[in-house]
Structure 1
Amino acid sequence: MTAGLLWGIAGLAALDAFNPATIVTVTLILLAAPRRAGSAALAAILGAALAVMTLGTVLYLSAGAAADAIGGVLLGLRFVAFGAAAIALAFAGIRRLRDRRRTPIELPVWFRPLTALPLGVLVTSADLPNAFPYFVAIERLVDAGVPTSQGLLILVGYTVVYCVPCLVLLVVGLAARERTRAWLQSLVTRFSRGTVRRSVPIAITLMLAAVAVGSIPFWIP
């Protein structure tokens, strides 16, 4: 295990940390949780961490075992990572070809910290197929032949980095509650109401990006 490998995986984790699904979930809880918003947001972050660590561990161990017996496993993992990202970009591009009304998101009155934990697991698990940096990081670990114990420890570090933006958001939200709440509310209002207008240039840009990302596995050595 080299310093270059660690820095590379740290960079991938930092890129993956700005995951809109998890950050939006924490933001929504801080704004709309009927009670104990801070505890509920923390529970959701723990749920996200649990999803990242559990699914990553399963994928890492299974990919490592398969790589010893089956050739091309790492190449397949690479295609899965960038293929998922390309599909997500293409889908986003298609959606920009028509006007789309935003749907406000609300939390039910029975929402509690106890239900926030599985919500964090569910939201993050559903979004992990689009988290191509995670797949690339696991591929690098397996390809480098990192011992299992060290690889799992690195995945723990990856999970911690992944949760940092949400933890910062939680701390800032609790420390400067009114000011932060007003700022977050303005963001939620902006992105959860109104209509997303049709834009052919943006749609074409997203589709071209999908083609570019999807072609990456073909020219990576």
Structure 2
Amino acid sequence: MTAALLAGVAGLALLDALNPATLAGVALLLLAPMARPVLAAAGFVAGAYLTVLALGAVVYIGADVAADAAGNGLIWVRRIAFTVAAVALAVAGLRRLRARIRPAVTVPGWVNPLSAALLGLVMTGADLPNAFPYFIAIERMVNADVGTTRSLMIIAGYALVYCLPCLLLLIAGATRGDRVRRRLGGLYERLGAEKKQPRSVPIAAGYLAAAAGVLTIAVLA
């Protein structure tokens, strides 16, 4: 295990940590009209962490087996990650070609401090296919051949860094609840409330161009 490997994986984890899905989940729970919103947000973060840890371990073990079976077996890791990201960008671009009303983002009625962990698991798991920095980090670990135990320890650290912004928001909500909720409320009105989205050809073209670029990377990976 080298310092260069750890630094590279840490950098990828920091990039991956800027994840709007998990941050939005914590923010919504802190704003939710429930008895213990901070505890619910903590359950959400725990679910997100366990999801990143478990799926990372599964992908690593599968990639390690593929690398042993065929020397270039890891190429599929990169290609799948970038292809899924390209498809997501293309879908987002096509949706901007017509006017629509974006529904408000709300917390389901069944969510409580216990079931919030399940919500964190579902939201994080649904977003992980787009987290291509994670796949790149796993590929580097397999190529470095640092061993299963050390690799799983690195994956646990990656999952912690991934959840770091959520943890910071959670701590802020626990220590300065009213102030944080006021600021999150203003942000929610701009980003999470029901909103009419007009048709935008330039934005759609930007998404589609980005999708084409990412797909090119997938093909050349």
Would you call these one fold, judging by a TM-score over 0.5? yes
Letter of the 1:206 counterpart: Y
Q: Deviations over 1:165-204 (max 9, x none)?
A: 0011111122222221111111111122221221111111
* 9 and 33 in structure 1: CA distance in 2 versus 1, 3 angstrom threshold: farther
Q: In 2, Cα distance between the equivalents of 1:42 and 1:160? A: 14
Counterpart of 1:112 in 2: which secondary structure? coil
Offset of 1:219 from its aligned partner?
A: 4.6
Which residue of structure 1 aligns with residue 27 of structure 2? 27
Please give the secondary structure, in 2, of the residue aligned with 1:73.
coil
Aligned partner letter, 1:202: I
Which residue does 2:70 correspond to in 1?
70
Cα deviation digits, residues 11-50 of structure 1 (max 9, x gap): 1101111111111111100001412101100000000001
- Structure 1 residue runs of 4+, over 3 Å off? 217-220
Distance, in Å, in 1 between the alignment partners of 2:99 and 2:183 is 27
Q: Which runs of 5+ in 1 are unaligned?
A: none
Q: Percent identity?
A: 50
**One-letter code of the match for 1:9?**
V
Contact 1:34 1:109 in 2 (8 A): no
- 1:114 is aligned to 114
Q: CA deviation at 1:111?
A: 2.5
What stretches of structure 2 of length at least 5 have no aligned partner? Answer: none
Describe the SS at the equivalent of 1:195: strand
Q: TM-score normalised to the size of structure 1?
A: 0.95
Counterpart of 1:208 in structure 2 is 209
What CA RMSD, in Å, does the superposition of the two structures yield over aligned residues? 1.4
TM-score normalised over the length of structure 2: 0.95
Is 1:55 aligned with 2:55?
yes
